[in-house]
Structure 1
Amino acid sequence: MLPANHLLRRIDQCLDTGELREALADHYSARGRPSIDPELLIRMTLIGRIYAITSERRLCEELRYNLAYRWFCRLTPGDKVPHHSTFSKNRHGRFRDAGVFRQLFEATVRRCIGKGLVGGKDAAIDASFIEADACWQRKTVPGYLPYVANAGRPVREWLADQGSISTKPGGSKDFEGVSRTDPAAAWSARPGRARFGYALNALVDTPSGVALDVEATPARFAEEVDAGRVMLGRAADRFDYHPKRIAADKAYGSAGFLGFVRDQGAIPHIPVIDRTQQTKGKLPRTAFSYDRDTDSFTCPIGKTLRHYTFHLRTGVHRYAADARDCEGCVLRKTCTKARRRTLVRLDNEDARDLARAELETGLFKRSMRLRRGVERFFADAKGKHGMRRLHLRGIRGAEEEFLIGAAVMNLMILARPQRLTDKPRRGRCIPAALTPAAISARSIEHDVIVSPPRRYA
């Protein structure tokens, strides 16, 4: 009844649930009525994400009469389908305590690495807004949240994570209150109208499109940048993944993040957040030359601006000229209105200079083209797998949905027919088969030749 090339048949060949069984073994009792097989619930969850079935009631209903779904879940036509409430009981208990979905996702990453799909040269980081399951009208300030004993699970989890009720998240300028149903979600007007939502943060190996890590955060820019650090560090620890080049948009172009990428041994192909030209008609900082040996600036007429303070929290060095030098300066009107001219230099200015130097190189332009792989990841998650709006609430619920979605998309890459037959893709360049003359003829300026990105099947 099921065709040999059916999608679920191909995904079943790439799926190994042995580790999940071991992780959940201690959570089930050997006495009493037989428990529902956890592998059955995991396979049902995968079907729901593959075919964008966001309702667990509808998933259980379709599993009753769809033979392909029954075959994938190892159910015979006469077996009983679990009740939809079984998902909630296991998700908020056994699965969450054992970290099942994180293990499932990391298993797909290791399989992609074992198949040679992850090149380890180019990676991209980005975040996309996912709407939370929270009505915009049910908004209040944290002090007026429901009493803890009567609150729902997302509210209780949020209060436990906060430790105490805070009135404003750190780094938030336009705080508009919290949701009474999902207080962990952030109020954001990105994109379009304002809504509560989360950020799906992803680290993607751009030539292959394999998701190496995902992280759930409230939809705030500051937390998305912090999630980028977490994902890079976790991928390095768990998969020994150290890309040579990391691409991202300008939101990640702060000095701190550029310095972190450089310290990881990668070249940041990221536009720099630079406000040095916002001088309101005065001389910009580029008009002053910096001397690294003396740690000082020199103005256009040759006067010195010496270092006088450093802010440890912000990583900002401040330099100032002598007030007596500025009093009789011929450029005073075009330089400053203050008593003396001051300049700032960030602690990671070297990383900013490195990122600026890469802007006009061919590798940077190539990284910007390959960065479309992470955008394709978000497009498939929302358009093909039903992740425009979350089904679960709370930061843990969002993380579980993101992990399941990323695991499914990695399985879809593994399940392509050419992956299962171990045959090279059509048009794929194999570096070992190229001679130095052929490489020179193609004017390749990087060390690995990769075919242009192709549309997913």
Structure 2
Amino acid sequence: MLPTDHLLRRVDRCLDIGELRQALAGHYSARGRPSIDPELLIRMALVGRIYAITSERRLCEELRYNLAYRWFCRLAPGDKVPHHSTFSKNRHGRFRDADVFRILFESTVRRCISEGLIGGKDAAIDASFIAADASWQRKTVPGYLPYVANASRAVREWVHDTRDAVFEMARSKSCQGVSRTDPAAAWSARTVRGRFGYALNALVDTPSGVALDVKATPARFAEEVDAGRVMLERSADRFDYRPKRVAADKAYGSANFLGFVRDHGAIPHIPVIDRTQQTKGKLPRTAFSYDRDIDSFTCPTGKPLRHHAFHLPTGVHRYAADARDCEACVLRKKCTTARRRTLVRLDDEDVRDLARAEVETGLYKRSMRLRRGVERFFADAKGKHGMRRLHLRGIRGAEEEFLIGAAVMNLMILARSNRLNGKPRRGVCVPAALTPAEISARSIEHDVIASPARRYA
């Protein structure tokens, strides 16, 4: 009934649940009623994400009569389907304690590495906005959230994670409010109408499209950049993945992140956030030459601008000219309206110069083309696997959905690669128990019946 080249058959060949069984072994007792196999729930969750079934009630309903779903979940035609509430009980308990979905995702990454799909030379980092399961109308300030004892699980988790930061956020003038339903989500105006949401941060091996790591953060640019550091460190620690080049958009072009990428052993192919040309008609900083040996700038007329101060938290060095030199300068009106001209240089200015120089190389242009792979990752997640809006609430729920989605997309890449390695062609329904000779004979028979020319010949 199920063709050998069916999607779920190909995904099943690439799926390894052994690590999950070990991780959940301590959560079960030999006494009591027979429990539901966790592998069944995990396979059901994978089916729901593969076919974009976001409702657990609908997933359980379709599992009752869909033969392909039952085969993938190892359910016989007469076996009972678990109740939809079983997902919630296990998700907020055993699965989160054992970090099941992180283990599942990382097992797919190791399988991709063992299959030789990951090149390890080019990587891309980016983030995409995913709407939270929270209405834009239910917005309030942090101090007016419901009492914690009567609040929902998402509110209790957020208050526990933030602690004293809740009151600091309430006093902040820059706070745009939080959601009564999902306060961990950040208010974002990236859509036509402002919405609450999370950022799906992904580290992707760009030639293959395999996701090496994903992380959920509130939809704020500063936290997305921090997530990029976490993903690079975690992938190096767990998979020894150290790409030679890292590509990203201009949001990651700060000196601190560029320096982190360089210290990580990679060349940053990232546009630099540069405001040196925003001088309001005055001479730009590029008109001044910098001498590294004496740590000083020289103006167009040959006067020095010596080191004046250093701000440790931001890593900014300040240089200033002598006021007497500026008073007698013929370029004073074009240079500054202040008493003397000042310049700044970041502590990681060397890596900014490196990133600027890389823009003119052919490898940089190649990295920008390959960076489309991470955009394809987001497009598939939203368009094919139903991740335009989250089903779970809270930062932990968002992380869980992102890990399942990334695991599914890695499995799809594995299934596609296995399909090209001598698998039976499409349209031939062959039981899995047949031998290769029988499979070949049935394929020939199918071709003879399907071709009138062969039949009459």
TM-score by length of 1: 0.90
Q: Larger Cα Rg: Structure 1 or Structure 2?
A: 2
Residue equivalent to 1:195: 195
Structure 1 residue 86 corresponds to structure 2 residue 86 = yes
Q: How does 1:32-111 map to 2 (within 5 A)?
A: 32-111=32-111
What is the alpha-carbon distance in structure 2 between the residues aligned to residue 110 and residue 63 of structure 1?
A: 29
Residue equivalent to 2:182: 182
Decide whether the 8 Å contact of 2:142 with 2:169 is kept in 1: no
Residue identity in the other structure for 1:112: C
Residue identity in the other structure for 2:78: G
Residue equivalent to 1:248: 248
What is the alpha-carbon distance in structure 2 between the residues aligned to residue 380 and residue 256 of structure 1?
A: 31
User: For residues 47-85 of structure 1, what are the alpha-carbon distances to aligned partners after superposition, in whole Å with 9 as ceiling and x for unaligned?
Assistant: 000000000000000000011111100100111100000
Residue equivalent to 1:450: none
Decide whether the 8 Å contact of 2:10 with 2:419 is kept in 1: no
Q: How does 1:213-362 map to 2 (within 5 A)?
A: 213-362=213-362
What is the alpha-carbon distance in structure 2 between the residues aligned to residue 319 and residue 167 of structure 1?
A: 39
User: For residues 323-348 of structure 1, what are the alpha-carbon distances to aligned partners after superposition, in whole Å with 9 as ceiling and x for unaligned?
Assistant: 11111111111111111111000111
Deviation at 1:313, TM superposition (A): 0.9
What is the alpha-carbon distance in structure 1 between the residues aligned to residue 169 and residue 289 of structure 2?
A: 39
- How many residue pairs end up in the alignment? 422
Identity, in percent, stands at 86
Structure 1 residue 385 corresponds to structure 2 residue 362 = no
Deviation at 1:421, TM superposition (A): 2.4
Q: How does 1:359-378 map to 2 (within 5 A)?
A: 359-378=359-378
- The 3 A distance-change label for structure 1 pair 325 and 173 is farther
Secondary structure (helix, strand or coil) at the match of 1:415 reads helix
Decide whether the 8 Å contact of 2:183 with 2:394 is kept in 1: yes
Decide whether the 8 Å contact of 2:131 with 2:390 is kept in 1: yes
- The 3 A distance-change label for structure 1 pair 15 and 64 is same
What is the alpha-carbon distance in structure 2 between the residues aligned to residue 316 and residue 89 of structure 1?
A: 51
Residue equivalent to 1:442: none
Deviation at 1:37, TM superposition (A): 0.3
Residue equivalent to 2:432: none
User: For residues 234-257 of structure 1, what are the alpha-carbon distances to aligned partners after superposition, in whole Å with 9 as ceiling and x for unaligned?
Assistant: 000000001011111111111111
Decide whether the 8 Å contact of 2:10 with 2:418 is kept in 1: no
Decide whether the 8 Å contact of 1:287 with 1:299 is kept in 2: yes
- The 3 A distance-change label for structure 1 pair 317 and 173 is farther
Decide whether the 8 Å contact of 1:95 with 1:101 is kept in 2: yes
Decide whether the 8 Å contact of 1:168 with 1:175 is kept in 2: no
Deviation at 1:318, TM superposition (A): 0.6
Deviation at 1:407, TM superposition (A): 0.1
User: For residues 156-214 of structure 1, what are the alpha-carbon distances to aligned partners after superposition, in whole Å with 9 as ceiling and x for unaligned?
Assistant: 110111022435669x9853100001000000011322000000000000000000000
What is the alpha-carbon distance in structure 1 between the residues aligned to residue 137 and residue 164 of structure 2?
A: 24
User: For residues 337-361 of structure 1, what are the alpha-carbon distances to aligned partners after superposition, in whole Å with 9 as ceiling and x for unaligned?
Assistant: 1111110001111111001001111
Deviation at 1:4, TM superposition (A): 0.7
Deviation at 1:231, TM superposition (A): 0.4
What is the alpha-carbon distance in structure 2 between the residues aligned to residue 361 and residue 411 of structure 1?
A: 34
What is the alpha-carbon distance in structure 1 between the residues aligned to residue 194 and residue 246 of structure 2?
A: 31
What is the alpha-carbon distance in structure 1 between the residues aligned to residue 167 and residue 318 of structure 2?
A: 33
Residue identity in the other structure for 1:118: I
What is the alpha-carbon distance in structure 1 between the residues aligned to residue 209 and residue 109 of structure 2?
A: 11
Residue identity in the other structure for 2:238: R
> Once structures 1 and 2 are overlaid, which stretch shifts more, 359-368 or 412-421?
412-421
User: For residues 269-297 of structure 1, what are the alpha-carbon distances to aligned partners after superposition, in whole Å with 9 as ceiling and x for unaligned?
Assistant: 11111000000011110011000011110
What is the alpha-carbon distance in structure 1 between the residues aligned to residue 242 and residue 25 of structure 2?
A: 34
Residue identity in the other structure for 1:18: G
Q: What value does the CA root-mean-square deviation take over the aligned residues? A: 1.4
What is the alpha-carbon distance in structure 2 between the residues aligned to residue 173 and residue 322 of structure 1?
A: 40
Deviation at 1:408, TM superposition (A): 0.1
Decide whether the 8 Å contact of 1:204 with 1:374 is kept in 2: yes
Residue identity in the other structure for 1:394: G
Decide whether the 8 Å contact of 1:142 with 1:165 is kept in 2: no
Identify which of structures 1 and 2 has the higher relative contact order when contacts are C-alpha pairs closer than 8 Å and 6+ apart.
Answer: 2
Residue identity in the other structure for 2:105: F
Gaps of 5+ in 1: 424-457
Residue identity in the other structure for 1:305: L
What is the alpha-carbon distance in structure 2 between the residues aligned to residue 314 and residue 151 of structure 1?
A: 39
Decide whether the 8 Å contact of 1:129 with 1:198 is kept in 2: yes
What is the alpha-carbon distance in structure 1 between the residues aligned to residue 115 and residue 173 of structure 2?
A: 46
Deviation at 1:302, TM superposition (A): 0.9
What is the alpha-carbon distance in structure 1 between the residues aligned to residue 210 and residue 50 of structure 2?
A: 16
Residue equivalent to 1:444: none
- The 3 A distance-change label for structure 1 pair 333 and 49 is same
What is the alpha-carbon distance in structure 1 between the residues aligned to residue 192 and residue 359 of structure 2?
A: 30
Moved over 6 A (4+): none
> Once structures 1 and 2 are overlaid, which stretch shifts more, 26-35 or 97-106?
26-35
Decide whether the 8 Å contact of 2:199 with 2:216 is kept in 1: yes
Residue identity in the other structure for 1:145: L
Residue identity in the other structure for 2:256: G
Residue equivalent to 1:432: none
Residue identity in the other structure for 1:125: I
Residue equivalent to 1:429: none
